[in-house]
Amino acid sequence: MSKLCLASASPRRRELLSMLPVSFDVQPVNIEEKRKPNEAAADYVQRLALEKADAGLQRFSEFNAFLGSDTIVTLGDEVFEKPENFDHFYSMMQSLSGVQHEVMTAVAVVKRAKRETFSCTVPTQVEFRKLSEADIQWYWNTKEPLDKAGGYGIQGLGGRFIKRISGSYSAVVGLPLCETESLLAKAELLEL
């Protein structure tokens, strides 16, 4: 029986997790990603990470533990997830243009035995430079924003819009390495 399963379809999370001393397999899971009325952003992202890990636990019996993660972008009370279409993307980019926003990534590790859960949420402050109409249209045309929380990827072409960051770069990409390693150590899943 394999020890750990990453319950995610994200190639970025797979790449980041592979940087840690842990063997794992990948099995994407589908959950409904819908924010509840009046649900705080931090509670929402943590719930999604836990639901992904739990979905893996229920669906795949060949693994001892599951890691679920989710990332959202927030500006005030507004939560920006993946853009639905160009108009939605355009509106997000206009809102983020020239201002600081917060990226929250939650991680949950659930072990099958005793249903032990280890979790954390990592906030990171990101500031965009001012974006022009041409910047927004160009970036949309690259197709990079389509599967990214907040409509941008800091590690890709969207990185050119980042003026400054305060917090965890890897959390903005999709998996906070330092905190994830700490959770895996507590869950006794590291191979050191």
CB 82 within 8 A of CB 147: yes
B/e letters for 7-38, b = 16+ CB within 10 Å, e = fewer, are bbebebbeebbeebebebebbebebeeebeee
For 7, half-sphere exposure in the C-beta direction (CA atoms, 13 angstrom radius) is: 30
Helix axis angle, 86-96 relative to 133-141, nearest 10°? 130
- Running DSSP on this structure, what letter comes out for residue 160? G
From 25, 43, 70, 87, the catalytic residue = 70
- Token readout for 119 is 């979790």
**Residue 70: active-site member:** yes
The residue with tokens 């905190």 is 179
Q: CA–CA distance from 27 to each of 32, 97, 115 (Å)? A: 17, 35, 19
Place of tokens 């679920």: 68
Active site residues: 70
